[in-house]
Each structure stands twice: as C-alpha cells, then as structure tokens.
C-alpha cells in the first residue's frame, strides 16, 4: 500500500455553476486549411460522457459532462482561479440548487484556456440542470505526497482515486502505473511550457496520421489515464529525457494546429521512478463506476 500524507490533506468546499458553451464569431480554420463551424468548449453536454471515445465527434475541444466555472466573465481571476487550483480529479460535486438538487457527480479534470473544471454527471441528472444551478465541490488533494517516493510529485488528485488506480510497487523501486496509452514526447503541443500544472491541461497533437496509428492515439477515451513519455511536469510542462508524467484525458480531439485531446496532470517524475504499463481498463469511468461504467 502506498504511504501518503492523506491525514494532513485539507478539505475545502468550493462553489461553481455550469458554464455556457464558448463559441467565437466566424469560421475557424483547421490544420489542413479547411474552415469549420462546430460546437466546442463548455456547456452541459448531454450526450458525451467519460469512458467514450475522444475521437470522431462533430465538434472541437468538446468537454464531456458539465463544464463549470466560478467566474465566467473573468476566468483567470478570483474566484475561478481558486476553483481551478483546488479542485482535484475524483472530488465529489454536489448540486445544491435546482431540479436536481442533492444529486452528485465527480470532477474529471481541468481545461486550460476555457479555465473550466469538468464534472461527470449522469445524463438523467444533466437533463434536469440549468446554467443557474449551484454546484458544491468537496475539494481535497492538492498537497498530496507519496511518503516513500519524494521524487514523484502528485497534482490534482483526490486521495481516494489514487487508492483505486491499481498502482503496484516493484522491487526495483519503481511504481507500475496502469495507463491505456503511452504518448511520445514529440506529440505534446498546446499548453507545453505552462509554468505550473495545478490547473489546465495540454494537448496530444493528432495531426500526423502515421503517428496516430503507430501509438494508437485515436483509441483514447475521455477519462483515460495516459503516460506522457519524456515529459516532466514538476515545475511546468517540459521535455526531459527519461521523465514520465501521468495524466487524464479531459477533452476531445481538435481540428486546430498544435491541438488534440487534452491531458490534465496527475503524477510526474523527472527520473525513471514511474513505469507505465498498458491496461485497457485504466479509465476513471471503470475505477469509479461512472459514465459508461455507471451501474444501470
């Protein structure tokens, strides 16, 4: 069992509400030079959930579930910046107003640029929601540490979810972390270089068909745990040979140059202490029985 400082982790209530979809005026142009008009960031997305493919949607940067904000007018300022930093993947989200009052969901990640947190609710709950509903996040996880692995840093990760990730200690001193996909460093694009990873995400570029096929990138699903090879996220997102970062897929494939499915950081190490191992079931939907794995 992994030893952590869970007994020292602070729990804080945060309040937010669903954020309206963000659609810019006029055409956008994809990486092949073709214009498009499609749904994109934000909204109460009724028919997309964790566990489903992040590819093939008639959309761009689609966020599954419910995209939430604490300040839609000023997304980079208080109180939305607090919501972004302190909310963690796996945190409980509870509706405290509206027709679905009392129902709960799960935070599945952060999306930079839009500065949303993304919450998985069942379709039945989403059908009852409005953009005036209030959501209370039971935030806990920032500051979580692995006592026996100080080289490995954790971000944005609820302690309860960490316990369910089926991480195995190896006699070599490494941790085996189940992931669905190993992404080569050369594929990481938009968001690279951001000075910290306590919020936001960065994108797996999918503009090269041969690379997508070679690494099975188009098989990734919302909520997949993935390994970013030769990337260290300790103090920002950077290429470091031999480093490994573990993240969760939070938004869909994209048409814009330099973009693709978005990954929120959960775990990182500048050395080789993390050994990712392929497991098709390494998805938050499977671990927490939500989305496509919610019991009927």
DSSP string, 225-268: EEEEEEEE-BTB-EEEEEEEEEEEEEE----STT--SEEEEEEE
Residue 172: pLDDT above 90?
no
What phi and psi values does residue 245 have, to the nearest 5 degrees? -120, 145
- What fold does the segment set 153-287 form as a domain? tm1086 (SG structure) fold (2.102.30)
- Provide the 10 A C-beta neighbour count for residue 154: 22
pLDDT for 258-284, tens place per residue?
999 999 999 999 998 999 999 999 999
Mean pLDDT, rounded, for 200-220:
97
* Contact yes or no for 88/199 (Cβ under 8 A): no
- At residue 90's C-alpha, the angle toward residues 88 and 91, to 5°, is 65
How much of the chain, in percent, has pLDDT values that exceed 70? 100
Alpha helices (runs of H) in 138-281, residue ranges in sequence order: 159-164, 209-214
> pLDDT value at position 170?
79
pLDDT for 229-268, tens place per residue?
999 999 999 999 999 999 999 999 999 999 999 999 999 9
Residue 171: pLDDT above 80?
no
- Rounded Cα distance between 43 and 22, Å, is 8
> pLDDT value at position 296?
79
Mean pLDDT of the residues in the chain: 96
Enclosing H/E stretch for 6: none
Q: Classify residue 8 by its DSSP letter.
A: G
Residue 25: pLDDT above 90?
no
> pLDDT value at position 33?
96
* Contact yes or no for 76/54 (Cβ under 8 A): no
pLDDT for 70-109, tens place per residue?
999 999 999 999 999 999 999 999 999 999 999 999 999 9
Residue 285: pLDDT above 80?
yes
Looking only at the bridges linking them, the beta strands covering 92-95 and 65-69 are unpaired
> Is domain 8-139 classified as CATH 2.40.10.170?
yes
How much of the chain, in percent, has pLDDT values that exceed 90? 94
- Rounded Cα distance between 166 and 269, Å, is 18
pLDDT for 1-14, tens place per residue?
789 999 999 999 99
* Contact yes or no for 13/134 (Cβ under 8 A): no
* Contact yes or no for 235/124 (Cβ under 8 A): no
| In the chain, where the domains are located | 8-139, 153-287
46 is written with which tokens?
């009724």
Considering the entire predicted model, what is its pTM? 0.97
């Amino acid at each position: 069992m992994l030893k952590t400082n869970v007994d020292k982790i602070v729990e804080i209530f945060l309040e937010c509400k669903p954020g309206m979809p963000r659609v810019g005026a006029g055409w956008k142009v994809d990486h092949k030079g073709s214009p498009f008009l499609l749904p994109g960031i934000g909204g109460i997305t009724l028919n997309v959930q964790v566990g489903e493919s992040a590819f093939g949607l008639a959309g761009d940067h689609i966020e599954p579930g419910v995209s939430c904000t604490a300040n839609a007018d000023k997304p980079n300022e208080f109180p939305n910046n607090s919501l972004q930093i302190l909310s963690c993947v796996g945190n409980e989200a509870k509706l405290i107003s509206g027709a679905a009052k009392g129902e709960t969901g799960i935070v599945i990640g952060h999306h930079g640029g839009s500065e949303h947190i993304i919450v998985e609710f069942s379709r039945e709950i989403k059908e009852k929601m409005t953009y005036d509903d209030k959501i209370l996040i039971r935030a806990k996880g920032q500051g979580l540490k692995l006592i026996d692995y100080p080289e490995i840093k954790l971000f944005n990760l609820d302690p309860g979810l960490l316990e369910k990730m089926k991480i195995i200690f190896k006699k070599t001193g490494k941790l085996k972390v189940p992931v669905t996909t190993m992404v080569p460093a050369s594929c990481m694009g938009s968001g690279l270089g951001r000075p910290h990873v306590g919020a936001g995400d960065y994108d797996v570029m999918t503009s090269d068909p041969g690379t997508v096929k070679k690494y099975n990138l188009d098989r990734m699903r919302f909520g997949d745990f993935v390994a970013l090879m030769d990337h260290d996220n300790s103090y920002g997102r950077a290429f470091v040979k031999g480093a490994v970062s573990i993240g969760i897929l939070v938004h869909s494939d994209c048409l814009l140059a330099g973009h693709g499915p978005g990954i929120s950081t959960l775990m990182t190490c500048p050395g080789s202490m993390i050994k990712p191992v392929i497991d098709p079931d390494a998805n938050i939907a499977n671990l927490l029985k939500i989305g496509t794995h919610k019991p009927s």
